[in-house]
Structure 1
Amino acid sequence: MIDKVLVAGSGAMGSQIAMVAALAGCEVTLYDIDRGALERALVDLRERLDRQVAKGRRPAGKVEAALDRLSFTTDLTEETADVDLVIEAIVERLPLKRAFFARLDGLCPARTLLASNSSSFVPSAMASATARPDRFLNLHFFNPALVMACVEVVRGPLTADVAVEAALEFVERLGKTPVVLDNEIPGFVANRLLGAVRDEAIGLLEGGYAGVEAIDTAARTALGYPMGPFELMDLTGIDIGYLTRTARFEETGDPADAPSATVTALVEQGHLGRKSGHGFYTYDGAGNRTGTADLKGQD
């Protein structure tokens, strides 16, 4: 049974994954090389959870107990001696991930399960940096992890059945819904489906067939999506999708896998969506949408 968890990377995904595990009763350590990033993660988590408590979605006592089970560290060696599971959520750069897992492999007990939250890289691309590919897989959570139910459990070609079974038990303990991939494929299931919708939306926009707001409205009112593809890209971060497509293009060499001209231009200009105040839409300092961005010259 997985009781002690280490989550590496204190960004939005890593910090929320750590909190989800703590809420489920696990002893959790959130690791980052930047002490300031850990401090910001704690502030963000408290704000998110306070809102959920205020709305009656979580009991205040359960939240405080979970926060007591969550610790923060910049010392990786100190927290790996008896860890059951490590979930990596660091920057989406394959060399960095491989180096990180190679280091973990030398620090963690042989029984420790190693997992990546990445959807950009398949398990085998990272597992080969370790001596335990049989205990390596991807556990892909969705943003925001405190809310989204799905977790993709992706096995590599050498992942052992016992590792998958342990991962499934852990995901179910979190109250999440596991989706198992028996064979690895870049993008997994959900992001490949979502990518097809995003590609078509970008194609309609760049072809001059419809504007951003019209396409989003159609997705919401005709297809029943909670938000349109451009709204979602702004929410999750346009740079995240850009890095994912860039990684896939580098892997396949297929021009169809490269980021679109529109997305590339937005990233180059620092227009990354809601977090930067400008993406396909514009936002005020509180993150409220104020209008549709002018995308002229970006198609």
Structure 2
Amino acid sequence: MAIRQIKNVAVIGSGAMGHQIAMLCVLGGFETHLQDIEEQALNQARDTLEGHMANWVKKGKITEQKKDEAFARLHLTTKMKDAVKDVDLVIEAVVEKLDVKQEVFSKLDKLVSGHTILATNSSTIVNSKLAEVTSRPEKVLNMHFFYPPLVMDCVEVVMSEQTSKETAQTALDFCERIGRTGILLEKEIYGFIANRLLFAISKEALYLYEEGYADFKDIDLITKKALKHPIGPFELMDLSGIDVGYYGNLQLYQETGDPKDKPAKSVEKKVRAGILGRKTGKGWYDYSTGGK
């Protein structure tokens, strides 16, 4: 399938990533169906996007007319069957758990047309693990957007051994159409490129913190002052969601069985307590009052 054949898109999951990916799609001119199992989540997604776009209009990044035209292309539904009817590309953005994603892909494979490309926004799970529950492994790949998608100009497009070159090229062309830089990974590896680099930093930061070498705030400060990173590793965990990193780490441990790959104890404790970062108002830092 070539990019010219893609007219309709579906995004499955309206969470922190999904609703912004859907917005990129409609801004790129594609009719886009955003699906979530919860009506409340969809309403919240629309409210959030309206706030973002209102700010864009104020800043002159988009006209009022373009904003209205984009929202006219955005369709919200709780029914997956309705969302994926006659679509050419599906981007899955549900929770970072293999069993959940496999269930979604198995359903999608039965609902969509034979030509439809199935992409996962997973930040760690390789697409071949999802392709195996479908009848179209050549049309399955990763399209890993970075948080927040409306700001971050990068998408890791990841091929498995079975992903066709045509599918990969269509995904790269699609990224260009929605104003994002798609970068091709021709081989699968857990965590891809960016996250493997971040995992290494995060793992060491957590080790230094748990062993008592420095407070997490000071580790963040050193990272920013000495290494010139825009935010520290603990701030980044809060921004992306502590649970996202936890489940990704847990998936790696389940695959390798290596104790070194187990999630850090301090991270596991926060996930169990529902302290997940900015989205819950508290993570490593407290955001409930707008400060840290």
Normalised to the residue count of structure 2, the TM-score between the two structures is 0.95
Within 5 A, what are the aligned runs for 1:132-143?
Answer: 132-143=136-147
- 1:264 paired residue number: 268
- 1:289 paired residue number: 291
Structure 1 position 10 matched with structure 2 position 43: no
3-state secondary structure, aligned to 1:289: coil
Unaligned runs of 5+ in 1: 291-299
Aligned partner of 1:109 among 91, 113, 118 = 113
AA of the residue aligned to 2:103: A
- 1:40 paired residue number: 44
Aligned partner of 2:56 among 33, 52, 66 = 52
AA of the residue aligned to 2:25: A
AA of the residue aligned to 2:291: R
Cα deviation for residue 276 of structure 1 reads 2.2
Distance 2:230 2:156 in 1: 20
Structure 1 position 120 matched with structure 2 position 124: yes
Structure 1 position 191 matched with structure 2 position 210: no
Within 5 A, what are the aligned runs for 1:91-102?
Answer: 91-102=95-106
Cα deviation for residue 54 of structure 1 reads 2.2
Normalised to the residue count of structure 1, the TM-score between the two structures is 0.93
Aligned partner of 2:134 among 111, 115, 130 = 130
Aligned-residue sequence identity (percent) comes to 47
Structure having greater relative contact order (Cα 8 Å, sep ≥ 6)? 2
AA of the residue aligned to 1:273: G
Cα deviation for residue 81 of structure 1 reads 3.2
Unaligned runs of 5+ in 2: none
Cα deviation for residue 278 of structure 1 reads 2.1
Distance 1:276 1:73 in 2: 25
Cα deviation for residue 53 of structure 1 reads 2.3
Within 5 A, what are the aligned runs for 1:61-76?
Answer: 61-76=65-80
AA of the residue aligned to 1:264: E
AA of the residue aligned to 2:234: F
Q: 162-171 vs 256-265, which deviates more?
A: 256-265
- 1:296 paired residue number: none
Aligned partner of 1:243 among 244, 247, 251 = 247
Question: What is the aligned length?
Answer: 288
Distance 2:128 2:237 in 1: 28
Cα deviation for residue 121 of structure 1 reads 1.2
Q: 142-151 vs 257-266, which deviates more?
A: 257-266
Distance 1:268 1:74 in 2: 28
3-state secondary structure, aligned to 2:138: helix
What's the Cα RMSD here? 1.3
Aligned partner of 1:223 among 213, 223, 227 = 227
Structure 1 position 77 matched with structure 2 position 81: yes
3-state secondary structure, aligned to 1:239: helix
Contact 2:33–2:84 (8 Å) recurs in 1: no
Q: Give per-residue Cα distances to partners, 1:74-114, cap 9 Å, x unaligned.
A: 22223333211000011222222112111111121111000
Contact 2:33–2:74 (8 Å) recurs in 1: yes
AA of the residue aligned to 1:31: Q
Structure 1 position 152 matched with structure 2 position 156: yes
Distance 1:10 1:96 in 2: 15
Distance 1:165 1:86 in 2: 16
